[in-house]
């Protein structure tokens, strides 16, 4: 019903404003497009924007010769994403700016609204007020899906829970929305639906702009932790999580509560779980379509064509993205919807033929350059491995030897794991141990949550096992050791210091080589300056006739 009323309002307003100058007409068009996008997201999001629009209609119109700047209407073109500085602002600040942009656009050359416009706005606002807090069809569908896939005995919406709390399966889902209003609405609806289940209060979290960095990291870590070890199951995210966030570790299902009208945003949302290190063989990205709402056919075409282009070309070419975005810039008005859907299909019917040859050639060159860089990096890595002759076994052996020098237990295999993980001994609890080892071992614990005291954190966050090989996926249960890790640096330093002091390695050492000719290598550590040292080496054959070898040369 609201969609039909908005269509009527769209036609009535466009008819009255046909004679406006282009800039003023564009501003009024932005108002209609944003009302439509918010209605497609949720009635809650639509209600707030409609209220701001109505307030502006009640005020005296501004001078029709004055047009707003692009900056003042920025949030009407696109919501903040992860690259927008406004994504770091509190949601309330962004919403206030959005309302100001709607009011500015509404009062720009709009003139006095007609009685029919006023009546339609009033009817839409009354209907939205009655419906804004009720679960819509998508919420009902989501709850049914959660019951089927994640929580088999989840009560139906509005039903009382009987018996023991419903248990959850070890499965996760992320739900994307463009608007903070929809995020809050969905959070309220789903919390009410799952509140009586086992650990219901801990099963849902949100990820959005304006969150403190430590809280954002805490949510990401929880979502990527093994579901058998953390209760979190549902993550509701705005586009602040669209880019640069890995959510694929234990999640292969994603829902779009609303579809972004920009193909790249759609791709990047899907890319939060459809990416490398994904454990599942298949990922499932879902979106909603109302069969009775004509405009949804246009969005369905957008989603389908974006998927096809991703499969054929790997990503959306800029020329196609610009073309599709330009077609949707004026909204999905009540007139010409079938033609708009057909145009989107035609634009992307043959993706490779729709892209300019120079763009395809540029993509090919970029791909070749990237492949060349990868090959060069692989060669450097192989050469480094051969020259340094370092491997996981050697690092493990040296660390065990250093632990032995400390009088501690060596690294023992972790029980219950199939990979090569090792338990680190409690170096801070040995008799007479250096208390600073506690700080070093803290680097092996999961990060400390915000507001948790140090001693409570150490009590509840055990030292995690360590691995020396890349596990091939995100694993929050272990720590991958490397030469720059604090624990490794400290144990290696202990190993070297102990060896030089106790074993008199300051002047000579013996090493085995594959060379058939016996050789002696002398190292002289020159301390001519505090920061720069040169090492002088000299070798000669022990089989040389004529007595003792010459003395080694020195530099410095």
Q: What is the 3-state secondary structure (H, E, C) of 443-486?
A: CCCCCCCCCCCHHHHHHHCCCCCEECCCCCCCCCCCEECCCCCH
Average pLDDT over residues 252-257: 96
Those residues whose C-beta lies under 8 Å from the C-beta of residue 479, and which sit 6 or more positions away, are 443, 444, 464, 465, 466, 467, 485
Average pLDDT over residues 20-33: 82
Average pLDDT over residues 355-378: 74
Q: Give residue 317's pLDDT.
A: 78
Q: Give residue 85's pLDDT.
A: 64
Residue 393 has pLDDT above 90, yes or no: no
Q: Give residue 502's pLDDT.
A: 57
Q: Identify the burial level of 401 via C-beta atoms within 10 angstroms of its C-beta, where 0-12 means exposed, 13-18 middle and 19 or more buried.
A: middle
pLDDT band with cut points at 50, 70 and 90 for residue 538: very low
Q: Give residue 237's pLDDT.
A: 93
Element of type H or E holding 536? strand 535-536
Residue 262 has pLDDT above 70, yes or no: yes
Q: Identify the burial level of 34 via C-beta atoms within 10 angstroms of its C-beta, where 0-12 means exposed, 13-18 middle and 19 or more buried.
A: buried
The more confidently predicted of residues 233 and 407 is 233
Residue 485 has pLDDT above 60, yes or no: yes
Q: Give residue 199's pLDDT.
A: 95
Look over the chain and give the mean of its residue pLDDT values, rounded to a whole number. 82
Residue 365 has pLDDT above 70, yes or no: yes
Average pLDDT over residues 297-321: 83
> What CA–CA distances, in Å, run from 34 to 61, 131, 288, 296?
20, 19, 19, 16
Those residues whose C-beta lies under 8 Å from the C-beta of residue 389, and which sit 6 or more positions away, are none
pLDDT band with cut points at 50, 70 and 90 for residue 391: confident
Residue 352 has pLDDT above 50, yes or no: yes
Q: Give residue 510's pLDDT.
A: 59
Q: Give residue 537's pLDDT.
A: 34
Residue 104 has pLDDT above 60, yes or no: yes
Residue 499 has pLDDT above 70, yes or no: no
Quote the tokens at residue 485. Answer: 């890790």
Q: What is the pLDDT of residues 398-439, one digit of tens each?
A: 899 899 888 899 999 998 877 789 999 999 888 888 889 999
Those residues whose C-beta lies under 8 Å from the C-beta of residue 433, and which sit 6 or more positions away, are 427
The more confidently predicted of residues 98 and 136 is 136
Element of type H or E holding 535? strand 535-536
Q: Give residue 134's pLDDT.
A: 94
Q: What is the pLDDT of residues 439-451, one digit of tens each?
A: 999 999 988 877 8
Average pLDDT over residues 259-284: 89
Predicted model pTM? 0.75
Residue 28 has pLDDT above 90, yes or no: no
Those residues whose C-beta lies under 8 Å from the C-beta of residue 56, and which sit 6 or more positions away, are 102, 103, 104, 106, 107
Q: Give residue 190's pLDDT.
A: 96
Those residues whose C-beta lies under 8 Å from the C-beta of residue 405, and which sit 6 or more positions away, are 494, 495, 498
Residue 68 has pLDDT above 90, yes or no: no
The more confidently predicted of residues 236 and 417 is 236
Identify whether the C-beta of residue 270 lies closer than 8 Å to the C-beta of residue 285.
yes
Average pLDDT over residues 343-368: 68
pLDDT band with cut points at 50, 70 and 90 for residue 354: low
Average pLDDT over residues 491-503: 73
- Give the strand pairing for 172-176 and 251-256: parallel
Q: Which has the minimum average pLDDT: 447-456, 464-473, 523-532? A: 523-532
Q: Give residue 359's pLDDT.
A: 59
Specify the 3-state DSSP secondary structure of 441: helix
pLDDT band with cut points at 50, 70 and 90 for residue 252: very high
The more confidently predicted of residues 79 and 297 is 297
pLDDT band with cut points at 50, 70 and 90 for residue 300: very high
Q: Give residue 546's pLDDT.
A: 45
Q: What is the pLDDT of residues 114-152, one digit of tens each?
A: 899 999 999 999 999 999 999 999 999 999 999 999 999
pLDDT band with cut points at 50, 70 and 90 for residue 193: very high
- Give the strand pairing for 524-525 and 535-536: antiparallel
Q: Which has the minimum average pLDDT: 103-107, 169-173, 498-502? A: 498-502
């Amino acid at each position: 019903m609201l969609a039909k009323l908005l269509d009527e309002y769209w036609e009535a307003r466009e008819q009255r404003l046909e004679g406006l100058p282009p800039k003023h007409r564009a501003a009024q068009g932005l108002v209609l497009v944003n009302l439509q996008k918010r209605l497609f997201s949720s009635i809650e999001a639509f209600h707030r924007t409609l209220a701001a629009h109505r307030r502006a209609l009640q005020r005296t119109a501004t001078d029709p010769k004055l047009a707003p700047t692009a900056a003042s209407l920025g949030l009407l073109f696109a919501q903040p994403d992860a690259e927008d500085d406004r994504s770091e602002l509190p949601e309330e600040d962004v919403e206030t700016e959005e309302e100001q942009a709607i009011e500015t656009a509404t009062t720009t050359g709009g003139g006095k609204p007609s009685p029919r416009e006023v009546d339609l706005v009033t009817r839409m606002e009354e209907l939205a007020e009655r419906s804004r807090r009720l679960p819509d069809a998508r919420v009902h569908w989501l709850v049914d899906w959660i019951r089927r896939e994640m929580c088999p005995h989840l009560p139906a919406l509005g039903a009382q829970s009987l018996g023991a709390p419903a248990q959850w399966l070890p499965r996760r889902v992320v739900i994307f929305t463009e608007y903070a209003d929809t995020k809050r609405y969905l959070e309220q609806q789903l919390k009410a639906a799952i509140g009586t289940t086992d650990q219901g209060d801990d099963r849902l979290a949100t990820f959005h702009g304006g969150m403190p960095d430590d809280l954002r990291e805490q949510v990401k870590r929880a979502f990527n932790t093994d579901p058998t070890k953390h209760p979190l199951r549902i993550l509701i995210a705005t586009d602040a999580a669209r880019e640069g966030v890995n959510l694929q570790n234990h999640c292969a299902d994603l829902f779009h509560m609303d579809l972004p009208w920009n193909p790249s945003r759609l791709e990047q949302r899907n890319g939060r779980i459809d990416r490398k290190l994904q454990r599942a063989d298949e990922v499932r990205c879902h979106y909603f379509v109302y069969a009775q709402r004509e405009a949804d056919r246009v969005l369905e075409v957008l989603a389908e064509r974006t998927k096809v282009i991703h499969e054929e070309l790997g990503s959306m070419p800029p020329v196609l993205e610009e073309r599709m975005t330009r077609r949707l810039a004026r909204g999905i008005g009540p007139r010409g919807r079938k033609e708009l859907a057909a145009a989107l299909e035609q634009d992307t019917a043959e993706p490779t033929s729709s892209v300019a040859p120079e763009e395809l050639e540029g993509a090919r060159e970029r791909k070749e350059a990237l492949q060349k860089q990868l090959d060069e990096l692989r060669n450097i890595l192989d050469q480094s491995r051969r020259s340094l002759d370092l491997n996981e076994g050697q690092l493990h052996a040296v660390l065990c030897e250093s632990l032995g020098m400390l009088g501690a237990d060596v690294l023992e295999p972790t029980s219950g794991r199939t990979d090569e993980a090792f338990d680190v001994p409690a170096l801070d609890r040995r008799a007479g141990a250096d208390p600073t080892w506690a700080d070093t071992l803290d680097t092996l614990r999961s990060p400390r949550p915000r507001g948790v005291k140090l001693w409570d954190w150490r009590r509840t966050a055990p030292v995690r096992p360590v691995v020396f090989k890349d596990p091939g996926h995100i694993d929050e249960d272990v720590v991958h050791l490397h030469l720059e890790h604090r624990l490794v640096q400290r144990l290696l330093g202990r190993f070297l210091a102990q060896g030089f002091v106790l074993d008199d390695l300051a002047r000579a050492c013996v090493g085995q080589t594959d060379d058939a000719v016996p050789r002696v290598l002398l190292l002289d550590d020159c301390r001519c300056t505090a920061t720069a040292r040169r090492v002088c080496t000299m070798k000669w054959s022990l089989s040389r006739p004529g007595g003792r070898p010459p003395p080694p040369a020195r530099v410095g």
